[in-house]
Structures are given as C-alpha cells and as structure tokens.
Amino acid sequence: MSSENSDKLPEFKFSLSGQQARELPMGWAKQATVTDFPVSKNIAGVLMELKPNGLRELHWHANAAEWGFVISGNVRTTIIDPQGRYETNEFKEGDIWYFPRGHGHSIEGLGPDGTTFMLVFDNGAFSEFATFSITDWLSQTPVEIVSKNLQTDAVDLNNLPDKEVYIAEIKEKIESKKLDSTPLTHKYSLLSQIPLRDCDGGKLWIASSEEFPISTTMTGGILVLNPGALRELHWHPNADEWLYVISGKIRLTVFASSGLSSVVELSENEIGYTPMGYGHSIENTGDSDCRLLIVFNSGTYEEISLSSWLSSNPDELVSANLNLPRDIVKKFPKKEAFILSGNKK
C-alpha cells in the first residue's frame, strides 16, 4: 500500500498496553473508545480485572448494551430488567454474558483468584468511566431525597460515599434473594459448545441471537488459528468486526475500496477493527496458536467468503474477471474454505 493511500485511511489497530488504567485497590480497567480509536465508531471495549470480593458496583449504561467474555477466573453478576425481574449467574473462563442497554447490573470477582474479562459495547462513543453508578447517583442527590426513597433517617446514611466508588469491596457473604426471574438468561457457556467451524487450520465458536436469544444487538465468539493458518478473505454485510488478541500474533488485511487497503500486525493485548462491508483476512504469523476474541454489532452473524463467492460463479465468468486461464480457475476451492491450514500452499 502506498503512503498516499495510507494517509487516506484510519488506523485499524489499537494497543491497550499504552492506555492508562483506572486503578483501585480491588481492581482496574482500561478502555478503548472512539475517542482514542477513531475508526471504532460503533464498538467500544473495556478490559477489566477484579480481585476476589472486588465488586464493579451496581450501575447501568444509558447508550449501549454490554457483552462480556471471561478471559480467566470466576465472576458473579446480577441484573434487573424494566419489569423488575432479576437474575444472578456465576461464570468461568470461556463464558459470556449480555446485558441490554439500560438494565441495572453488577459484577463480582470470585475466589480463589478473582477474574479478568473483556467488556464490549455496541456504541463506540460509550465510556465505562462515564457510566451511571449507584454511588455516584446517590452522592449527587440531596440526602433528604435519598433518605425518603430508602425510608430511613438521614443520619443513618452518614457513611454513604460522597462520590463514585466504581469498584467496591464485598466484606460479608452475599445471601441470594428470591425474586421473579427473567424469561431469557443472560449467560451462555460459549467454549462448552461445539464450534461453529472446525477446520484443519483452526476453530470458531460463535454466539449470535440464534444461540443466545437475549443477545439481540451483538454477536461474539472465539477464533483460534493454528500457526500459519488464514481466516480467508471475507466480509460481513451487516456488522462491523472488533477483535482482541488474547494470545499470539496476527496479520490483519483490510480493503476499503477505491484502491485503499491496509495491512497491520497485531499481538497480545491489541485490538483490530474492520468496518461493515470492508473485505479483510486474518493470518496467524506466530509460532503457536493464536486466540482471538471477535465481536460484531449485530445479533445476526453474516459473512461472505472469497472462496464461497468465486465457487458459486461459472469458471468462465471468474476467468474473465481475473484475467486468468480457466485451467487455473478450476484449481480454486469448490466450496467455502473459511480457514486455510498453514500447511497448504
């Protein structure tokens, strides 16, 4: 790609390593929003760690739904919907959750080691650090209003925090309450399922609204590529693709039409972004398997791969388009390859 072209394109790569963390005694968080990653207009991400008994306090998001993936450890969530229905779940590594926009929830790190998870939101302008937290709300409300709402004396609220806590510490055992449960669960055990794709070069686990009905605005999953393997050239007609490198190294190619394209190298703790409809590929350039978290801002998963497209057309038409002899075209894959093994030329 020429330097002239590169000047016309946004950066499709963002490193969380260089981001300043919001650090507290019981955990920390780093975020990637459109403010720092301009191409990511429709999706934002937050990497968070909670120590055992660390609590991401009761809060809600006014402008985005939340999709979470547990990278390590164990975590418990609570959520309430507008009908007053409640659910609490425990998650382990490989599990995901989905909280619709505006639903109140909390996240608790469990023993023995706490938890690390990635939160993804279907709005690039979302900010985890400007969300609606219960301590922030009550500290900014006249105490007589708060005491009236909570039906207690104002003096009883002297220890109420005077600003947002963000990550609190749970000091007593939590006793569950029996309330009306939500009709759709907010939990899905992603990596306990059979992969959607299981190829020589890797695997894809995916959870759309078909598999995880409550996740109406987002689809997400894990893509594992073996060394040298290629997630073939493809595009998504209905969604942007946001990816986070959990482990390994990849080469991401992005085609933006009109002679514009980009090639970026990504490694652990870096984010890649491909806008809706842009042609792209993902190749494992490392010596070990790479593990990628991929999320789309649609509850329906759609993709069109190069091999599927070409194989559906007559050889003569493909030959004319690519200016290649038919005997060469006949060697092309006869169906979708999806993931090409690194052992194949």
Query: Residue 5 pLDDT more than 90?
Result: no
Task: Report whether 55 contacts 169 (CB < 8 A).
Answer: yes
Q: What is the pLDDT of residue 7?
A: 67
Which pLDDT does position 345 carry in this prediction?
A: 43
61 is catalytic: yes
Average pLDDT, integer, range 15-20: 93
The architecture of the domain spanning 191-340 is Sandwich (2.60)
Q: Is the pLDDT of residue 198 over 80?
A: yes
- What's the pLDDT score for residue 179? 73
State the pTM of this model: 0.94
Q: Is the pLDDT of residue 25 over 50?
A: yes
3 pLDDT above the threshold of 60: no
- Which residues, other chains included, contact 296 with Cβ-Cβ below 8 Å and sequence gap of 6+? 218, 219, 220, 236, 238, 239, 240, 241, 242
Cα separation, 237 vs 286, in Å, equals 29
Token duo for residue 214: 């409550």
Q: Residue ranges per domain, the chain? A: 19-187, 191-340
* Catalytic-labelled residue, pool 49, 87, 108, 128: 128
φ/ψ of residue 237, rounded to 5: -70, -20
Query: Among this protein's residues, is 280 annotated catalytic?
Result: no
Report which DSSP code applies to 115. E
pLDDT digit string (tens) for 245-287? Answer: 999 999 999 999 999 999 999 999 999 999 999 999 999 999 9
185 has pLDDT over 60 = yes
Strand segments, DSSP code E, in 62-148 are: 66-73, 75-80, 86-91, 96-99, 104-109, 115-121, 132-133
The reply to whether 105 belongs to the active site is yes
Q: 66, 87, 108, 164: which is the annotated catalytic residue?
A: 66
66 classed as catalytic: yes
Active site residue 59: yes
Q: What is the pLDDT of residue 8?
A: 79
Strands 115-121, 44-50: pairing is antiparallel
CB environment 323-343: b (16+ within 10 A), e (fewer) = eeeeeebeeeeeebbbbbbbe
Contact 265, 285 (CB under 8 A): yes
Q: Tell me whether residue 46 is exposed, middle or buried, using C-beta atoms within 10 angstroms of its C-beta: 0 to 12, 13 to 18, 19 or more.
A: buried
Q: Is the peptide bond before 161 cis (omega within 30 degrees of 0)?
A: no
What's at 318, amino acid-wise?
A: V
Same fold, 19-187 and 191-340: yes
Contact 340, 305 (CB under 8 A): no
Please give the backbone phi and psi of residue 120, each rounded to the nearest 5 degrees, phi first: -125, 140
In CATH, the number for domain 19-187 is 2.60.120.10
* 186: annotated active-site residue: no
Q: Per-residue pLDDT tens for 57-113?
A: 999 999 999 999 999 999 999 999 999 999 999 999 999 999 999 999 999 999 999
Are the C-beta atoms of residues 205 and 190 closer than 8 Å to each other? Answer: yes
Average pLDDT over the chain reads 95
- As given in the structure block, the two tokens for residue 11 are 């950066």
| Residue in 105, 234, 236, 291 annotated catalytic | 105
